[in-house]
Structure 1
Amino acid sequence: MTKILSAAIAICSLQLALGQNPSVKVDMLDSNWIVPKDALFENFDNRKTLLLKGGRATVKNLQLTNGTIEVDIYANSVRSFAGITFRKQHDTMEEVYLRMHKSSQVDAVQYTPIFNNESNWQLFREYQAQLTFKNEGWNTLRIEVKNNSAEVFVNNQKAITVDNLRTGHDIGEIGLFALFSNRFSNFRVTPKDVVDKIESNSKSVADPSTITKWEITKSALYDAEELDFEKFSNEEYMTVETEASGLLPISKYVKKSSSGNFEQNAEDYIVASTSIHIAKDETRLFSFDYSDKIIVYLNGKIYFEGNNSFRAKGVQYMGHVGINTNKLHLPLKKGINKIHCVVIDKANGWGLMAKLE
């Protein structure tokens, strides 16, 4: 009974503080957080701390639109990831994290949207930064969220400006993320008013040859021996739009059969199709990239198979995407031509981008 009463008082105190004070500290207490079963609340280094052994922790009874989110992360040179999630709605959210073992490297800090419980860092190479972390004591991660953008600081040093938050959410839950074990302390939030209406910062496509709409299927478990062109070409397709760059973040539109377990996921696939109408026979250049794997068909015939998976081409290979990475000269026939791309993914970013010149 005493524990229940204490929890109720803690929750009421948190809500009252947010209502009266523009800044509030969310103590590392079980009454304030929804955490995985193996998480531990411990006194460490004269602080109240949360030890996350993996997964996400969410602040109870608190959602944020705009404001500042800060947390201290204990120094850790062992391979691990530690960060903040915000504007979380169900399994889709924004996420920023430190790759604790990558101090001083070009991808020490990363931003990614999480779509349907899947990370997409391979698709957003532009939102990574090189920073050096403290190798002892606490590192402070701070995110300043304003409408559709965010600025990321580590130990008061600016790391990343995210000029276009990708989920489209204007409000959501906030919390913490860890892959492998990391320790957090001193979580604080400063809500701020919405200055303007939150709108997408998407820009018009600069290159008119970029494919900006695809017809895609639902996802299914991938089995190379079961893949059949006649079968998947007659499946039901839905129309989806890319980002201005031509990037199609597939997990935004379809949910995988297994997600959130990184390389432990099963492989899923979708088929993305586009039609080309031409007045006479001609050859056109098809430039494209993908994650993780792809099979490209033109009018039912395979023209390309590739593997762009994380570490598929060496231990340091990241699998980032760029629209000019792969090129095919496609012999198009007078009339309607169809390109089908079977895009296969296990983890870290399920994407496709292409242009037909």
Structure 2
Amino acid sequence: MNARLIALLLFVSSYTFGQTVVPFDSSAWVFAGKVTQETFQGKAGISLTNGSIYLKDSTFKNGSIEFDMTLSKERYFPGFCFRIQDKANVETVYLRPHQVGNPDAIQYMPVFNGQEAWQLYYGDGYSTAVTYPLNTWIHVKLLVRDAQAEVYIGNTAAPTLVIHHLKRPTKAGQISLNNDAPALTRFANFQYTKSDTPPMAGTFKPEPTPQPGTILTWQVSSPFDEKLLQTDYSLPQLLVNRLTWQTLTAENSGKLNLSRISKLSEGNNSVFAKVTIVSDKPQIKKLQLGFSDRAKVYVNGGLVYTGHDEFGSRDYRFLGTMGYFDAVYLALKKGPNDLWIAISETFGGWGLQAMMTDQTGLTINR
């Protein structure tokens, strides 16, 4: 046996022996749902409905999480969370059993301030097609290292989902198993390993560079009620005068996840994002927009555009996912122009992205 193979076997062996097997009892978990101890198809475990269970250990950062689970055919979203800071700030992976075989059968989603964001993060690196059986045991495994992770569904050699860039900070936290629906999900054989060098097999893509013209830095207001925007075609000055502001930098894709700094609530479901555009002459420029769920665009205080991209707004199959699906042509005057975009949210992701590819004669200042 050559030295390289011996080294690999020693590495895998040391990783395996570091696993912690955790029984499903109150000494290790906090139960926040309906939990029933049961044996199904020869495996002892639990059934979980209408809630979650939280591992009491709050020191998991890197390593592996493994368990077996069963899924029903109903429309629901069971899965697990990791690096839980509190119930409103977590990394989440969940399955959509009703979408087996479709491109969103499994989903990674970061949660900031209690706001889900699956409408912002989808496709390569966030969701993918996978076929898994229902009403029988399947094995689920997560490997995570700093900002990268991969998920295995079933006993496969290659990862099912490669998460190129986790969106939340790399901080240790709790692990949970989740099923917030009445549809039945079972869990068995839970174990986890803490390791900064888990043996990952995925191909991870580097962070993409911003497209030319992407607006990356915005001033974002304190939240307010969307109803305050429905009375006029200009910025309501009473609202404007009471706003406070902070800087938020977009991801390289241009996505501005507004939940990073604003908590969504009834009566506080909107914010403004603003920049100043300095033009060397009067001219018209195209602004490409992506938003979730609703947007109103103001230039120099006047309303020039309104759009609706929420779940089901185009047809019953439209998911409300955010992309550069909309555009508005801005009539700019010579000198500074104030661009304000109000973004209002219902559920699924609170976000904005904007790009002005032709910036000839322009300077954009936050």
Answer whether TM exceeds 0.5 for this pair: yes
Residue aligning to 1:133? 132
Offset at residue 204 of structure 1 (A) = 6.8
| Structure 2 counterpart of 1:302, one-letter code | L
Which stretch has the larger CA shift, 120-129 or 61-70? Answer: 61-70
SS at match of 2:339: strand
2:96 to 85, 96, 99: 99
Equivalent positions of 1:183-198 (< 5 A) are 183-193=186-196
State whether residues 113 and 119 of structure 1, in contact with CA within 8 Å, keep that contact through their aligned partners in structure 2: yes
Cα distance in 1 for partners of 2:93, 2:247 equals 30
Residue aligning to 1:328? 328
State whether residues 69 and 188 of structure 2, in contact with CA within 8 Å, keep that contact through their aligned partners in structure 1: yes
SS at match of 2:132: coil
| Structure 2 counterpart of 1:151, one-letter code | E
Equivalent positions of 1:31-110 (< 5 A) are 31-36=27-32, 38-45=33-40, 46-90=42-86, 91-110=88-107
Cα distance in 2 for partners of 1:160, 1:294 equals 32
State whether residues 71 and 188 of structure 1, in contact with CA within 8 Å, keep that contact through their aligned partners in structure 2: yes
Cα distance in 2 for partners of 1:159, 1:171 equals 24
State whether residues 63 and 174 of structure 1, in contact with CA within 8 Å, keep that contact through their aligned partners in structure 2: no
State whether residues 220 and 257 of structure 1, in contact with CA within 8 Å, keep that contact through their aligned partners in structure 2: no
Offset at residue 129 of structure 1 (A) = 0.7
Residue aligning to 2:167? 166
Q: Note if 1:210 corresponds to 2:214.
A: yes
Q: TM-score, normalised by structure 1?
A: 0.85
| Structure 2 counterpart of 1:233, one-letter code | V
Cα distance in 1 for partners of 2:342, 2:293 equals 11
State whether residues 39 and 50 of structure 1, in contact with CA within 8 Å, keep that contact through their aligned partners in structure 2: no
Q: 1:267 to 1:77 in 2, by over 3 A?
A: farther
State whether residues 164 and 206 of structure 2, in contact with CA within 8 Å, keep that contact through their aligned partners in structure 1: no
* Cα displacement string for residues 220-279 of structure 1 (whole angstroms, at most 9, x for unaligned residues): 333254785323433221111000111000111111226xxxxxxx77111111110111
State whether residues 298 and 339 of structure 1, in contact with CA within 8 Å, keep that contact through their aligned partners in structure 2: yes
Residue aligning to 2:13? none
Residue aligning to 2:240? 233
Higher strand share: 1
Residue aligning to 1:316? 317
Which stretch has the larger CA shift, 336-345 or 50-59? Answer: 50-59
* Cα displacement string for residues 91-131 of structure 1 (whole angstroms, at most 9, x for unaligned residues): 21111111122111111000000111111111111211111
Q: Note if 1:27 corresponds to 2:33.
A: no
Residue aligning to 1:198? none
Runs of 4+ residues over 6 Å off in structure 1: none
Q: CA RMSD in A?
A: 2.1
State whether residues 108 and 131 of structure 1, in contact with CA within 8 Å, keep that contact through their aligned partners in structure 2: yes
Residue aligning to 1:154? 153
Q: Note if 1:123 corresponds to 2:120.
A: yes
Percent identity among equivalent residues?
27
State whether residues 223 and 268 of structure 2, in contact with CA within 8 Å, keep that contact through their aligned partners in structure 1: no
State whether residues 73 and 82 of structure 1, in contact with CA within 8 Å, keep that contact through their aligned partners in structure 2: no
Cα distance in 1 for partners of 2:238, 2:196 equals 52
SS at match of 1:63: coil
State whether residues 58 and 172 of structure 2, in contact with CA within 8 Å, keep that contact through their aligned partners in structure 1: no
SS at match of 2:56: strand
Offset at residue 60 of structure 1 (A) = 0.7
Residue aligning to 2:342? 342
Offset at residue 349 of structure 1 (A) = 0.7
SS at match of 1:302: strand
Offset at residue 48 of structure 1 (A) = 3.7
| Structure 1 counterpart of 2:190, one-letter code | F
